[in-house]
Amino acid sequence: MGFLDFLVNDILSEPAVLVGLMAFIGLVASGKNFSEIMSGTFKSIIGFVILQAGAGVLIESLDNLGPIIQDAFNIHGVVPTNEAVVAVAQETLGRETALIMGFGFLANLAYARFTPFKYVFLTGHHTFFMAALLAAVLGTAGLTGASLVVVGSAILGFLMVLMPALADIYMEDVTGSDDIALGHFGTVGYISAGFVGKLLGDPEDSTEDIEVPKSLGFLKQSLLSTAITMTVIFLIIVVKAGPEIVGDYAGEQSMFMFAVMQGITFAAGVSIIMSGVRMLLGEIVPAFEGIGEKIVPDAKPALDVPVTFNFAPTAVTVGFLSSFLGGVIGMFLLGPIGLATIIPGLVPHFFTGATAGVFGNATGGKKGAIFGGFANGLLITFLPALLLPVLGDLGFANTTFGDADFGVVGIIIGMVARLFG
């Protein structure tokens, strides 16, 4: 149990260490020399930490904007936040969640070794979130003790190979190669975006080919266009909110300068993420060749969603804004049909909406990015509302899981539980 606690709490719960461990195993299996092993391992860890740091900067910016929107427009309801609902789950299901996560990772390796799904899921925090969801819904369904852990681990390991396999339907359209897979539990939204893009658009009409006048040529640089777009959005929101509301977040800073700096900070976060992704991919893909040769034949790393951002930076912004619009429209549709009001959370809408935009652009160009992102926004509004009752007592925590796969998995398990009493 002591080793298991160390494995779960110190290794599997730290995504950067998990990625570095996989790189180390792959490089050793490839027969690399000591210098190459150390270089590849630490660059993989550093690249992931840079990615996390960029995500932290970006989230801090969005965490300021979200409450201002709620206060300015007097919106009340449930804000889907994975981290918040997991924190609530840990109070009663912490041990079960840890065990499901640890054995689920081992199940992932077994599925990858003995089935056609050769994916090793390396997004550690999402593994943890899904383990918490499974502990909650299986516990609500009546499972306890060893049966809860065994069933939860088997389901988690299967989801860790199934979701990357589903995303691979369109992943090669996104990346142009077959080197990496997507390991993120928002996959239903991404394949929906890819399907919508293929249905409505033309992949040749890419967001990355948008033409602008020469005098506005600087907007072709995705970093600058992101900064300007987000600054304009912040300015509109703070003007609507007024100095009294914004002052609680801006402190001594004027609300206009606060808006400008938050927009620029958001763009800086995106830039840091891109830098980390480049370093991570440069090391993890060669390392997995060794894992594929010696441990899991043809193994493919399933990585977090920012790995897709470099392939269509403009689609990232388009998908985010479209997803948020879908969330706002969906919010107003929930009440009339008797579901809880789901307030769009900017963090899930950015990460899943941006990825949906990239997938939609890969299959349907501009229209795909717009309507694919919008479809994702509707999904991560309606699915959390339908998931709330399935979570049982956790549903009273005024939050729920935000990304699409959590809703799909939780609702399916809830339906099966009711079917079998």
Question: What is the per-residue pLDDT for 219?
Answer: 55
**CB atoms closer than 10 angstroms to residue 337:** 8
3-state secondary structure of 353: helix
Task: Measure the CA–CA gap between 188 and 356, rounded to whole angstroms.
Answer: 10
Report the length, in residues, of the chain: 421
d(CA 411, CA 190): 19
Distance CA 303, CA 183 (A): 5
The angle formed by the CA atoms of residues 85, 17 and 313, to the nearest 5 degrees, is 70
What are the start-end ranges of the E strands in 116-274? 119-121, 181-182
Taking all residues of the chain, what is their mean pLDDT, rounded to a whole number? 86
- Classify residue 322 by burial, with Cβ atoms within 10 Å: 0-12, 13-18, 19+: buried
Strands (E), 177-247: 181-182
Helix (H, G, I), strand (E, B) or coil at 177: coil
Structure tokens at 126: 């999402």
Assign residue 300 a region: left if phi > 0, alpha if psi is -120 to 50, beta otherwise? beta
Q: What SS3 state is found at 342? A: strand
Give the residue carrying structure tokens 């970093």.
223
Q: What does the alpha-carbon distance between residue 62 and residue 345 come to, in Å, rounded to a whole number?
A: 9
- pLDDT score at 357: 97
**135 in Cβ contact with 100 (< 8 Å):** yes
**CB neighbour class for 406 (10 Å; exposed up to 12, middle 13-18, buried from 19):** buried
What CA–CA distance (Å, rounded) separates 361 from 348? 19
106 contacts 160 by C-beta, under 8 angstroms: no
For residue 303, the SS3 value is strand
Structure tokens belonging to residue 43: 């660059």
Burial class from Cβ neighbours inside 10 Å (0-12, 13-18, 19+) for residue 353 reads buried
Q: What is the rounded CA–CA span in Å between residue 270 and residue 50? A: 11
**3-state SS assignment for residue 6:** helix
Residue 137, CB-side half-sphere exposure with 13 Å CA sphere: 28
Tokens of 378: 């509707």
Closest-CA residue to 181 (of 191, 194, 168, 170): 168
Summarised one tens digit per residue, pLDDT across range 150-182 is 999 999 999 999 999 999 999 999 999 888 999
Write down the pLDDT at residue 398. Answer: 64
User: According to the model, what pLDDT value does residue 287 have?
Assistant: 79
335: how many CB neighbours lie within 10 A of its CB? Answer: 11
Query: Taking the CB of residue 242, how many other CB atoms lie within 10 A of it?
Result: 13
pLDDT at position 128? 83
Annotate 80-140 with DSSP letters as a single string. --HHHHHHHHHHHHHHHHHHHHHHHHHHHHHHHHHSS--EEE--HHHHHHHHHHHHHHHHH
Q: What is the pTM for the complete model shown?
A: 0.83
Residue ranges of the chain with pLDDT lower than 70?
1-13, 15, 212-222, 289, 293, 392-398, 421
Task: Give backbone dihedrals phi and psi of 70, rounded to 5 degrees, phi first.
Answer: -65, -40
Dihedral, CA of residue 231, residue 235, residue 241 and residue 247, to nearest 10? 70
The predicted pLDDT at position 77 comes to 78
Contact between residue 228 and residue 234 where contact means Cβ atoms under 8 Å apart: no
For residue 182, list its beta bridge partners. Answer: 303
Rounded CA gap, 224 and 229, in Å? 9
